[in-house]
Structure 1
Amino acid sequence: MEHQSPVALVVGVTGMVGLSLAEALKQPDCLGGPWKVYGGARHSPDEWFPSSILDGFITFDAVNSADTHAKLLPIANEVTHIFWVTFQFVEDEEVNITVNKSMLHNVVTVLKSSPSSPLTHITVQTGTKHYMGPIYDPVRSNKLICHEPPFNENMPRLPYPNFYYTLEDLVASYTPSITYSIHRSSLIIGASSRSAINAMMMLATYAAICRHVGLPFRYPGNRYTWEHFCDMSDAGVLAKQHVWAGVTKKAKNQAFNCTNGDIFTWKSMWMLLSEVFDVEFVELDDKEEFDIIELMRDKGEVWDLIVEKYGLHKTKLKEIACFEAMVPVVRFEFQHVSSMNKSKDYGFLEYADTFKSIKLWVAKLREMKLIPSYQQ
């Protein structure tokens, strides 16, 4: 039997990691390549998305099994690798479990349905909520049992419902005919106006609004995170880890943390952000409680004015910046740090300098006309 060239389906291609994956897979020197790349998402891409990097874009609703079947059946005899970098997210974790499991199940069911299905591997993007529990749950988050950082992949599951655990169990159930890899990211930095939780877009829109209306660019977190360590995951490094695990025999059926490999304090990060967003650095003031969610609640029209003034792609603040998701992260009472030792032991050695990474992604967001540039 002759070796089939790999064919990828990137589900969630318009998100931060999805875009980086599509770009990585189409590089001439990409591991396992040359790749044919299909991208899938719920909505057709806007003009900021470079559709030309894909061999085909498929718009489908993974929650809807009939729609998924109709749209994906034509490529079921081609796809060798699913890169799963999408999720639907609400506060109720039981709902997250049901919806996210059915989405992945629907896609795999269609792609396995072809008698000549070549599907061999599924990569699944999850995150450090694996080690922290339901940080967004309004009830459970007040008294969480977390693992002690730095987080490592051998830590047992926590006694909470978590759709990450459900997705891991689902892909494990397809073995041995289909292998899998799990990718546990930290805070992801990348470029997209379609990611539900995008730290760079939150910080960039917040800074732009502060600059526009003359508000101080205040840190919305606590003293602990201001002074203690945190890490991040560059979307490009994450994309490379997905591809590496998808084609490396030793990495099959394993879970890997994926961070940049360095750490920072939010104080040092706030200094950098003040510089790149051209706003004045403000020291943390403990005396006054600061609620960024409340502050930004009525700023949608201000963002509309900024979009108009700087000729940006038309985006709505509530769709690109979920400040409710940012607040728990900057108010942790533990150091948000993951170990990359397992990943390195298995042979994945990519890394990123987080501060350089921030500057590169801010430049990319400006180039993509998603955030304002103040250079004359």
Structure 2
Amino acid sequence: MEQTNRVALIVGVTGMVGVAFTEALKKPTALGGPWTVYGVSRRPLPTWFPSSLLDKHIMLDTLNQQQTHEIMAPLSSQITHVFWVALQVNESEQVNISLNSTMLSNVLNALTSSPNSKLSHVTLQTGTKQYLGPIFDPSLSAQLVPRDAPFIEDYPRLSFPNFYYALEDILTSYSKSLTYSIHRSSSIIGASTRSYFNTLLTLCVYALVCKHQNYPFRYPGNNYSWEHFWDMSDARVLVEQQIWASVTDKAKNEAFNCTNGDVFTWKMIWKVLCDTFGVEFVPFDEKEKFDFVDFMKDKGEVWDGIVEENGLYKTKMEEITCFDALGQVLKLEIQHVCSMNKSREFGFHGYANTLKSIPEWVQKLREMKILS
């Protein structure tokens, strides 16, 4: 692509990956740069957000077709790349399909409506539900048979509704006028109070509550996940892969897994979290029944006290954690590992050391005054 005046639109800019995008695109070394960076979010920017790195912030409910068209259509002659990291979550997968498809369609329709549209590439971030199915839909989850690990991009789709499939189909319908790339993450680690599935922040809040109240920091999963291999996706690696794909011809119209490229057991993660928060390591004992969701459900006031005592950015525990979803995921009896071979074969070699990146992100959350 000859064009050097690239204008990025990050949809979902205040989430973990949105924040990482904002920082990565404004680096002098950013691939394809220099970039002009616009960010979309439903709410005003939080005080911890690096707003000086955004050329324009757009507050917009992308579910609202009229509002999206009025705000986005005039920008269609400027925006060259869309980085889609937005998410709406409902326990019904059919509702997820409706909400997320509406958001993506509204934005793409507005940005391609003008004959002067400059939009050339869209990256879509999805995840391993591609291979697991709708694990959070109570009407479907018991029927699911996940693909074998390590998960490979060209596995056929599962025969269950999945909003990831719907979004991929929307993108391919635009393939005559623009290119796209699909990026399937594992559990994401990054720094934000505005991400729906925030594994790291959920575990950090849990650790701080246990430390504050002198409770044992017990593992909320099962013995299988404690002992077997898993992977994660550092937000910085996800962003690096998406920027790479957006300016690399070979990567156009392809789907890529995106993880850190290493594996771990949750036993290893638990030791890192104990060291990071100064809590005692408690070996997992399957005989001890522990209901994670029930244990945390009345701890909102404890969290309020921690926030107040330490002068932290004001958050409500219920809004920044996902105890129920995390508890379900950690009880899966599968090795949750993605193959990164395709990504490497196409020329992307980004990686992160998961056990090192967790304390780095906790430190970042402390600097942002989200954690103590």
Cα distance in 1, alignment partners of residues 18 and 233 from structure 2: 14
Normalising by structure 2, what TM-score? Answer: 0.98
Query: What SS does structure 1 have at the residue aligned with 2:112?
Result: helix
Cα distance in 2, alignment partners of residues 273 and 143 from structure 1: 34
Equivalent residue number for residue 229 of structure 1: 229
Query: What SS does structure 1 have at the residue aligned with 2:226?
Result: helix
Cα distance in 2, alignment partners of residues 141 and 223 from structure 1: 20
Q: How does 1:55-70 map to 2 (within 5 A)?
A: 55-70=55-70
Equivalent residue number for residue 278 of structure 2: 278
Query: What SS does structure 2 have at the residue aligned with 1:364?
Result: helix
Letter in 1 for 2:164: Y
1:178 is aligned to 2:178? yes
1:293 is aligned to 2:305? no
In 1, are the aligned partners of 2:271 and 2:281 still within 8 Å (CA)?
A: yes
1:117 is aligned to 2:117? yes
Equivalent residue number for residue 100 of structure 1: 100
Equivalent residue number for residue 13 of structure 1: 13
**Structure 1 residues 210-258: Cα deviation after superposition (integer angstroms, max 9, x where no partner):** 1111111000000000000000000000000110010000000000000
Letter in 2 for 1:355: L
In 1, are the aligned partners of 2:124 and 2:181 still within 8 Å (CA)?
A: yes
**Structure 1 residues 8-48: Cα deviation after superposition (integer angstroms, max 9, x where no partner):** 00000000001101111111111111000000011111101
Equivalent residue number for residue 268 of structure 1: 268
Cα distance in 1, alignment partners of residues 2 and 84 from structure 2: 27
Cα distance in 1, alignment partners of residues 329 and 61 from structure 2: 30
Cα distance in 1, alignment partners of residues 32 and 93 from structure 2: 36
Cα distance in 1, alignment partners of residues 3 and 21 from structure 2: 23
Q: How does 1:1-376 map to 2 (within 5 A)?
A: 3-372=3-372
Cα distance in 1, alignment partners of residues 310 and 82 from structure 2: 38
After superposition, the Cα gap between the structure-2 partners of 1:233 and 1:273, relative to the gap in structure 1 and judged at 3 Å, is same
Cα distance in 1, alignment partners of residues 219 and 226 from structure 2: 8
In 1, are the aligned partners of 2:244 and 2:348 still within 8 Å (CA)?
A: yes
**91-100 or 108-117, larger mean C-alpha shift:** 108-117
RMSD value, Cα: 1.1
Letter in 2 for 1:82: V
Shift of 1:4: 5.0
Query: What SS does structure 2 have at the residue aligned with 1:256?
Result: strand
**Structure 1 residues 144-170: Cα deviation after superposition (integer angstroms, max 9, x where no partner):** 111000000010000100000000000
Contiguous gaps of at least 5 residues in structure 2 = none
Shift of 1:139: 2.9
**Structure 1 residues 90-143: Cα deviation after superposition (integer angstroms, max 9, x where no partner):** 110000001100100000111112221110000000000000011112232223
Letter in 1 for 2:179: T
Normalising by structure 1, what TM-score? Answer: 0.97
**Structure 1 residues 300-335: Cα deviation after superposition (integer angstroms, max 9, x where no partner):** 111100000111000000100011110122111110
Cα distance in 1, alignment partners of residues 188 and 363 from structure 2: 16
Cα distance in 2, alignment partners of residues 246 and 117 from structure 1: 17
Cα distance in 2, alignment partners of residues 366 and 149 from structure 1: 35
Shift of 1:190: 0.2
Contiguous gaps of at least 5 residues in structure 1 = none
